[in-house]
Chain A
Amino acid sequence: MSTTMRYPLFCGFREVVVGRKFAAGVELNGRALAEKEQGGWWLYGVNPGAIAGSGMDLSAAVADFRLRLKGVLFDFAADADDFECFRKEVLAFFKSSDAETEAEWQAARDLVRAGKVDLKGMRKEKAERPRSARVVLLKLAPQENVLDKGASLAA
């Protein structure tokens, strides 16, 4: 019998990425499934789905996940001939998901809502947070500085 504990997270990350003659703002509001294993934590992406991160504790796993996300975005920027190519790559990456992780995320959320699973110390969000990805050309103005939504437990 599996002893893996699973937790459904909302993740909101914002990055500034520089490519060939463009600076882009990337804002991803997605989902990830946190798993506690013996030895540490894993974060498996739901949207974006093709990414994972790990760490000794949940904060370290979130930080690793974000670092890997940044690496993927930097790779896209390095390969893109222009902003539009970069934008299309990011949006396709965000939409990619696998049905198994998606189903595990939903099952984990059902357990949280039933009061059978909790994650002490993490902010809870009961409302739906729509999945969204936004990639814009930056105008290099102060109002484009936006704080992350960070990670929260989908309750």
Chain B
Amino acid sequence: MSSFGTVGLKRIWDMLEHCAPGFEKKKTTHNWRVTWNGNCFPSLPLGPHGKRDNAEIQVGHIKKMARTLGIYDCALAFLDL
């Protein structure tokens, strides 16, 4: 999938439960901050206003988060990217 493709936020949380068990997420004013295993990704987009329960997030951000957290191969396999 192109880095411009999107994945729903709920599917991303499912992926993190699988690839980064025990991960923590915090909603800030401008981003989601995701931490796991001593690594922090503070720039996962919230998504457009009005659609934030299951916002569609561009794959480029998900790949970068997966690299930062050290779960790249697992994330791509789980999300079939």
Contact = CB atoms under 8 A, between A and B. Distances in A.
Interface stretch (B7-15, B47-55, B56-64): B56-64
Interface in B39-81: 39-43, 45, 58, 60-61, 63-65, 67-68, 70, 72
A94 to B, nearest CB: 12
A75 to B, nearest CB: 4
A37 interface: yes
B3 A35 contact: yes
A39 B40 CA distance: 29
B61 A50 contact: no
A52 B61 contact: yes
A79 B33 CA distance: 12
B68 A50 contact: yes
Interface residues of B, number: 24
Contacts of B42: 50-51, 72, 75-76, 93
B37 interface: no
B25 interface: no
Main secondary structure of the interface of B (DSSP, over half): mixed
B28 A96 contact: no
Main secondary structure of the interface of A (DSSP, over half): mixed
B41 A75 contact: no
A37 B59 CA distance: 12
A150 interface: no
A72 B42 CA distance: 7
B30 interface: yes
Contacts of B45: 68
Contacts of B65: 50
Given A39-B4, A75-B29, 16 more contacts: A35-B3, A39-B2, A42-B60, A45-B64, A50-B43, A52-B64, A54-B60, A71-B31, A72-B31, A72-B42, A74-B30, A75-B30, A76-B42, A96-B68, A100-B67, A101-B64
Return the 6 tightest CB-CB contacts between A and B, nearest first: A71-B30, A75-B28, A52-B64, A98-B67, A51-B43, A50-B68
